[in-house]
Each structure stands twice: as C-alpha cells, then as structure tokens.
Amino acid sequence: GAGVSQSPSNKVTEKGKDVELRCDPISGHTALYWYRQSLGQGLEFLIYFQGNSAPDKSGLPSDRFSAERTGGSVSTLTIQRTQQEDSAVYLCASSIAWGEELFFGEGSRLTVL
Amino acid sequence: EDQVTQSPEALRLQEGESSSLNCSYTVSGLRGLFWYRQDPGKGPEFLFTLYSAGEEKEKERLKATLTKKESFLHITAPKPEDSATYLCAVRLTNTGNQFYFGTGTSLTVIP
C-alpha cells in the first residue's frame, strides 16, 4: 500500500478482555514504532522495531502490553486484560532504517468500557 | 530529566494574522528536532527536521527555527486550512531511536 495501514480503526471492548491491534508498514521500511496518544497527552512511545534487531520495549507501560513483528513487516500490538486507562488512540509509524521522517498510520482508537 | 514543552496549548488566529508556536526542550543531547502536523482523526504528518542552532527550514507559510533551548514554528498569513495540531518531537543522542513528543499546540484559523 501507499501508506501505513492500521486496523481496526475503532475498537470497543469490555474491561478484562484482550485486544489485538495490527499495523502494516510501508513496504521497504525496516523501522516500526508504536505510540499511544491519550486525550490532552503527547504521543507516548511504546515500542520500536528495527530490522532483525531485538525490539526496544522500554516504553511498554506494563506486562499486559506486548508486540511482535513477523517477517520484518506486519506488527501486532496485544493488550491483555484491558483496563479503562488503556483507552487511547494507538498509532503506528514506520521509517527507513535510521530515518528521520516517521510515516504514521491513522491510528486505532481503543475504548475500554 | 529530558522534557519537551509546547506553548501555547491552543491558539486562535484570524486569517492573515501571523504568529509563532513555541517548543522548548531540556535534553541531555539533541540529535534532531522535528515538527509534525496532525489533523483530527489522522496520524501526524512530517513537516521539518532541524539539527543545529541557527538552522531554519521553510515550507509554504511555515518556517521553523532552532536555538539551543527552543524551536519556533512561524506561521505567516495563515489560512483556515492551516488549522491543525502542531507537534514537536526530539530525538536524543543517547536513547537510540526514540522520538519524544510534546503535547502539541492546537491552531484554529478563523476566516
């Protein structure tokens, strides 16, 4: 595709359920980032993948959050046992290796009831 | 502690009324400062990268400048289509590939 694709665009779930958010980066981009954007807050770094290197997980807020990237392309962010404070827009971005410009998807809006 | 602070939080301008947005930073080592534009319901869109004090970048009605403590995004004769949230971000020399974002300035340009 021409840009970063994220799905679902909207997800409403009940507290305690698990959710998976998907990101399909721009073809050829080896770097992939997940950010979280809450109302009135800046973008919060979650995790970064670069090629086949070990991911930088330093931004994951708890062990309920995990992410994987298969085949150096598609990434899935999984939130287990969702809590109301997990409600936010989850943004995925990709770039060329060590690139300065991030290309963002439109985000997945998660609402936990 | 590394910090990125944007001001004002919100700004309303009349069409044609020029102004500036501020991004101040206190970081241990700046590798680059970035400006993004974000429209409602969309992901941020890259505008500029600045690397060193004194550097300037321009694009249409926007000009970004950088000093050792802050960056300004100058908007000259804005139009309603410039209405958006403007985000700045920094990349540090000692934290790998992370980008740290400010909370943004919401700009509304009134016709």
How many other C-beta atoms can be found within 10 angstroms of the C-beta atom of residue A40?
8
- Do the domain assignments include residue A103? no
Of residues A43, A58, A106, nearest to B41 (C-beta): A106
If you search the block for the tokens 């209405």, which residue do you land on?
A: B83
Chain A partners within 8 Å of B97 (Cβ): 31, 48, 50, 56, 98
**pLDDT of res. A1:** 53
Is B19 a residue whose pLDDT tops 60?
A: yes
Could you tell me the CA-to-CA distances from A99 to A76, A93, A105, B14 in Å, in that order?
A: 22, 12, 16, 36
Q: Which domain covers residue A65, as residue numbers?
A: 5-96
Residue A1 DSSP class: -
Q: Please identify, in words, the CATH class of the domain defined by B3-110.
A: mainly beta
Is B1 a residue whose pLDDT tops 80?
A: no
Could you tell me the CA-to-CA distances from B77 to A43, B12, B82 in Å, in that order?
A: 29, 13, 10
> Would you kindly state where each structural domain of chain B is located, as residue ranges?
3-110
If you search the block for the tokens 């009134």, which residue do you land on?
A: B110
- Do the domain assignments include residue A110? no
What is the average pLDDT across B30-56?
A: 94
**pLDDT of res. B29:** 84
Is B96 a residue whose pLDDT tops 70?
A: no
Q: How far apart are CA B88 and CA B37, in angstroms?
A: 9
Q: What is the CATH number of the domain that holds A41?
A: 2.60.40.10
Could you tell me the CA-to-CA distances from B4 to B59, B100, B102 in Å, in that order?
A: 23, 7, 5
Nearest Cα of chain A lies from the Cα of B29 at a distance, in angstroms, of 16
Given a contact cutoff of 8 angstroms between Cβ atoms, the answer to whether A71 and A5 are in contact is: no
**pLDDT of res. B97:** 75
- Do the domain assignments include residue A111? no
**CA Rg value for chain B:** 14
- Do the domain assignments include residue A112? no
Nearest chain A Cα to B99, which residue?
Answer: A45
- Do the domain assignments include residue A69? yes
- Do the domain assignments include residue A107? no
